[in-house]
Structure 1
Amino acid sequence: MATRSNNVLGMLQDIASKEVDEAAVALAKAMKLANEAQAKQDMLNEYRLDYVRNLNKILEAGMGAKAYQNFQNFFGKLDQAIAGQQEVVELANQQVKIQKQLWQESQRKKLSYEVLTDRSEKRILKVEQKKDQKQMDEFAMRITRTKHH
């Protein structure tokens, strides 16, 4: 029976290890996507800043109303893209948070099975040690009886 429960615990521990590995892969993927989304957000913000600098230089030199209106329309679209990308960044960060929680849960589960396996092995070892001690005691008693007869 002890061997059977150890086999079951071993199987559960293997499954938990696979779950941890899968959760780690999912977390890494989510982190990669979040980093890519943030990099795109940073690029859009830098792009906008460059255009603001260009606009300021052009305004110093003088600009027509139509050109200024085109710049304003462009900034409106760029700001929409930045806002949309910010949502993507937030969703990606939320996914990282979720995947991290799933990974932590799978780690705890794996650790629990490791603890149970360790306890089971210690129990089995204790039983075997008692059995060995009993056999040694019986052997010593037989030797003592044989010497006295």
Structure 2
Amino acid sequence: MTTKSSNVLKMLEEIAAKEVELATEALAKAMKAADEAQGKYDMLLEYRKGYQDNLAANLTKGMTAEAYQNFQNFFKKLDHAIAGQRDVVLIAQQQVKVHRTLWQESQRKKLSYDVLITRSDKRIAKVEQKRDQKLMDEFATRMTRTKR
């Protein structure tokens, strides 16, 4: 019976290990998506700064009202894209948190099974040790009887 429960625990531990592996892969994927989203966001900010610098340079040289209006319209569209990308970054970061929590839970579950397996193995070893000791005692008793 003890070996049957030990086998069940080992099977559950293997399933938990697969869950950890899947959770690790999902977390890595979420982290990569978050990094890519952050990279796009940073790129849009740099792009906006470049156009701001360009506008400042053109303003010092002098520019037409129509050109200035075009810059303003472009900035509105760019700011809208930046806000949208910021939302994408926040969602991606939230996904990382969710997947990190799932990974931690799967790790705890696997470690719990590891602890149970260790306890079970120790219990089995203790039972076997007692049995071996009993056999040795019986053997020693028989040996002393046969010597008399």
**TM-score interval for Structure 1 and Structure 2 normalised by the shorter chain:** over 0.9
Q: Partner amino acid for 2:12?
A: L
Would you say 1:63 and 2:81 are equivalent positions? Answer: no
What does residue 26 of structure 1 align with?
26
Q: Partner amino acid for 2:52?
A: V
Which whole-Å CA distance do the structure 1 matches of 2:101 and 2:129 have between them?
Answer: 42
What does residue 110 of structure 1 align with?
110
Which whole-Å CA distance do the structure 2 matches of 1:4 and 1:145 have between them?
Answer: 39
Compute the RMSD of aligned alpha carbons.
0.3
Q: Identical aligned pairs, as a percentage?
A: 68
Which whole-Å CA distance do the structure 2 matches of 1:147 and 1:3 have between them?
Answer: 39
What does residue 48 of structure 1 align with?
48
Q: Secondary structure at the match of 2:63?
A: coil
Report how far residue 40 of structure 1 moved. 0.1
- Count of matched residue positions in the alignment of Structure 1 and Structure 2: 148
What does residue 37 of structure 2 align with?
37
Q: Which runs of 5+ in 2 are unaligned?
A: none
The runs of 4+ residues in structure 1 deviating greater than 3 Å are none
What does residue 95 of structure 2 align with?
95
Q: Which runs of 5+ in 1 are unaligned?
A: none
Alignment of 1:77-92 (within 5 A): 77-92=77-92
Report how far residue 38 of structure 1 moved. 0.1
What does residue 73 of structure 2 align with?
73
What does residue 143 of structure 1 align with?
143
- TM-score (normalizing by structure 1): 0.99
